[in-house]
A and B are shown apart, each in its own frame.
Chain A
């Protein structure tokens, strides 16, 4: 096994805590099984609930009869959409996606129509999960089955069956807005266009133009923990929800909106969360558990089965894309045209906007035309999935570029470097890039031993691809309480999916001159800490980090005031060096952090500080995947031999967890590249809704994943931190496709590049006599 490079870090020169690798504070509970996740909640008198889900992909609900279920001994409550209030049809911000409580409610419990197989219709709470399951099967639903629409291009046709009778296409100028209503009824929810320069003129100046079509199918986030929620609606109207989600405040706000009750009446208690990757931002179970609890007068827990997770929760979009890029002989790209149509699933809201914005981001191209379409289908409503919408687009762009480089006879990394974006270059929406590490990432690839070591052997090939993600900022809150022994407690609202407690705690420790172990980080419930956005959008270490840093700075100021009181001087005259407060007036006057903490009750009482972040300068991220494969020409199977992930992380707070994000995203990308897919039958049934047939990579499918951390500091963060969670998933699919081409000479333009598909392409190659 090759070793991950121990980097000579910039951070180790500048910082004491940042850049080190302390053991995460919450680790013990996770290696001993003591930590409690969503499904681990047990409350006195708690009932268990199961959902009834649609067996049809598209059908009108004519009648629901729950009487037999209600009559089953042990059943305490049954709910359907009739139990939901009628609520406003207005969008709320769900961070990476736009939410609409009416849509979320309709997705949680269908009213008049079911829009995908697995769409929830009713729920039963009973004294045991087995009784609840039996009862759910006793609910009788009468359907008028309609023709399902399962393919993006089919859905866009004029005569396609309509999924929503009143849905009209909106012309969108900016992402995350609904845009102008065209009044045209169709399955196309929106059209978004980006235009720079003159593409016709650009292509006319190109020596070589490559145009290719690409398709991808939905893939699932694949978190190992199924959704789970427990609700207790008290007689006084207070609702408490214990849930594993990516954002407690998001779940609170969505649930309150769906149920039509004030946010103040809802408390969300974050449980540990067993993976999310974007899939646990929107609510599915929480309002349903709440309604059941209200009816039954007891706490109710709902835990999804794996099949429900696949059929009822968000995969990401399948897509149809056309990518056309032209370049001159010298390697300068002159124009690009990019058409993207993404499936949104049952309700509008695919991440096609991100694909449109970010697919071409690593390249400076003056003439660009991008058309993006958001299309509804009879699939589960898509949810965010790690750099939502961008991996599909990068697959198209980076594959097209690889072919263009080949046709120009230019080495792929040279071609990319010739066109790499730098600070000040304009993005497709016209806004210039700030400080970015695109060139640095590309140089790092060229200089990496993996890239410089020749790959030998038959049917082996090497591929590289770039990826970009805009990262999120959003708001976070943090509270720091100083203990009299000089340790501190740090409460944030950010649920910890992969080590953010330690990453945020380290930033507070850095400011206060403490060791990471002196900070006790806690994830607070929605009544215990200020509003905090989701753990998602690669924003937690960055934005919650800023909140913690700001709170820590306040603590430092308060401590300086306490010292000033003692030394009868002004706080401005006090410096903080290596964990010691020193008077500039008399350098003999020194008090350590611990000493001021010990005396705080005598000097003015407890020292606490709360702060929030609302960052403006989000550091965007470039990344790349370099991969070696071997193709079995007889079976079409692709084996990953070696993979290296490159990423500009700004500043690695805890390098181990940064590497972990890079490795995890790379492997999810490899799964997406090779075998993961929603395999729908003609009637819209997902035929492979289990971990047996939805083939996520196992440990035996992979080599070690090497990482190369690049640090181009983000000026928008005190320590230079950029988000690190998502961008690593963007490049792998194209990198693998390019490696397959290098190995056996075929261009794969559809995902997944499963053995059967590779075999087909090899057959065609043979028949074409290449």
Chain B
């Protein structure tokens, strides 16, 4: 891959790269199947060390894993709604991240869960936060010859909960018109910390820090949630296209932030 530089691409599940190649979104000389690299297929999940998710692990193995389902229900939300069953048998969360679509369903979840990227390249290894990974539509920080090997999710904090949901016109098989990933940590009924990330409302997934900050220290109630939702709308800088208008998307960010936070709070309270 290093030899071909930008004319090479990694192939994991192929559910994006093959479609884009056929649509001539880019021209390459080499497609490298990375699914046989052991580190790419790692799936280790413990309460102590968190989750190491190899970049090529398909969605179906994530939601079929009982430890991941128990510890990271927010990640399962994303893994279970990317494509249909056929796609979930191939598509990986790592691929969803590298594809760096503004609408990616996994990225807001990863940001909300404080995930980091383990990158290996000719010059060695480096680690960056997921919120710093995407640089534009279809663009990421990977340099020529670099590969995303795995994603690390820290162990879930006590009394924490996360949720991702998106709005689509159909009930499946669709691209998010807008999406929101939320996580909260509760302490004695109050919100100790929170993270929010938005899909499909900017050139990259949006890490909505201001909106999340409004929640800190507040009672986990409707008022706090609505305030954060209003603030999240300000973080959205969407475009109008065939999937939705600017006004609709900003409005949806408010609705989805509210719904995502409510569910995340419910999960944190152990309602699930």
Contacts and interface: CB of A to CB of B under 8 A. Distances in A.
Contact of B173 (A634, A692, A759): A692
B171 A687 contact: no
Interface stretch (B153-161, B237-245, B262-270): B237-245
Interface in A384-402: none
B170 A635 contact: no
B5 interface: no
Nearest to A678: B242
Contact of A698 (B172, B243, B252): B172
A697 interface: yes
Interface residues of A, number: 20
Contacts of A637: 167, 169
Contacts of B245: 756
A215 interface: no
A693 B242 contact: yes
Contacts of A698: 170-173
A246 interface: no
Interface of A: 634-637, 674-675, 679, 687-688, 692-693, 695, 697-698, 700-701, 754-756, 759
Given A695-B174, A759-B248, 12 more contacts: A634-B255, A635-B167, A635-B252, A674-B169, A675-B170, A692-B173, A693-B175, A698-B170, A698-B173, A701-B172, A755-B167, A756-B244
B251 interface: yes
B169 A695 contact: yes
Contacts of A687: 241-242
Q: Which one of B169, B244, B248 has the greatest number of beta carbons of chain A within 10 Å?
A: B169
B242 A675 contact: no
Given A635-B255, A759-B251, A692 B169 contact: no
Contacts of A754: 169
A695 B173 CA distance: 9
Q: What 7 pairs between A and B have smallest CB-CB spacing?
A: A679-B242, A687-B242, A700-B171, A634-B255, A756-B248, A688-B242, A700-B172
Contacts of A700: 170-172
B167 A692 contact: no
B169 A755 contact: yes
Contacts of B242: 679, 687-688, 693
Contacts of B252: 635
Nearest to A639: B171
A756 B241 CA distance: 12
A660 B162 CA distance: 43
A697 B170 CA distance: 7
Interface string B166-182: 01011111110100000
Contacts of A674: 169
B168 to A, nearest CB: 9
Interface in B169-216: 169-175, 177
19 contacts: A635-B167, A636-B248, A637-B169, A675-B170, A687-B242, A692-B174, A693-B242, A693-B243, A695-B169, A695-B170, A698-B171, A698-B172, A700-B171, A700-B172, A701-B172, A755-B167, A756-B244, A756-B245, A759-B251
Contacts of B171: 698, 700-701
A640 to B, nearest CB: 10
A675 B172 contact: no
Contacts of A636: 248
Interface in B218-266: 241-245, 248, 251-252, 255
B170 A692 contact: no
Contacts of B248: 636, 755-756, 759
Contacts of B177: 755-756
Nearest to B251: A759
Contacts of A679: 242
A109 to B, nearest CB: 23
Nearest to A756: B248
Interface string B33-47: 000000000000000
Nearest to B259: A634
A687 B244 CA distance: 12
Among B170, B177, B243, B252, the one with the most A-chain Cβ atoms within 10 Å of its Cβ is B170
A692 B175 contact: yes
A608 B143 CA distance: 76
A637 B170 CA distance: 9
A701 B170 contact: yes
A631 to B, nearest CB: 13
A701 B174 CA distance: 12
Nearest to B241: A687
Contacts of A693: 175, 242-243
Nearest to B84: A698
B170 to A, nearest CB: 5
B92 to A, nearest CB: 19
A756 B170 CA distance: 13
Contacts of B172: 698, 700-701
Contacts of B175: 692-693
Nearest to A691: B173
A675 B251 CA distance: 19
A746 to B, nearest CB: 16
B114 to A, nearest CB: 29
A736 to B, nearest CB: 14
A314 B148 CA distance: 44
Contacts of A688: 242
A675 B173 contact: no
Contacts of A756: 177, 244-245, 248
Nearest to A137: B24
Contacts of A759: 248, 251
Nearest to B169: A675
B258 to A, nearest CB: 8
A711 to B, nearest CB: 35
Contacts of B243: 693
Nearest to B249: A756
Contacts of B167: 635, 637, 755
